[in-house]
Amino acid sequence: MDNLINIEMEDLNETIDKNEISIVYFWSPGCGVCRYIGPIYEGLSKEYPAIPFGKVNTNENTDTYSQLGITAVPTVKFYSNGMTIDTIVGCRDYMKVKQTYKDKIEEIING
């Protein structure tokens, strides 16, 4: 089973509620930073195959991001047992983005 999944609004709550840990990436095709982060996010999904990595295209799911208070893309939300643990908006440092995400994943995994 592929752990990198495109998520629609009706599937979002089920995805984050049924998994101990899940990560959701909110992106837009017209976002330059999203085009940079996308392959990094996909690579991390391969490094952590037991964790579902969701992708929500905000252009196609406008209700999703507005209901969740997403104000900018890219936004990555980290969930544990259905609760938001952390949110990273944008890209603070292009050279460290992968390590920033990995550090957050490891923090959640290790409690």
The residues carrying an active-site annotation are 31, 34
Rounded Cα gap, residues 74 and 101, in angstroms: 13
Q: What is the DSSP letter of 107?
A: H
Strand ranges of the sheet holding 75-80, from the earlier edge strand across to the other edge:
4-6, 53-57, 21-27, 75-80, 83-89
Q: Which tokens hold the place of 108?
A: 């959640």
Residue 73 · residue 58 · CB < 8 Å: yes
Count the alpha carbons within 13 Å of 32 in the hemisphere toward its beta carbon.
1
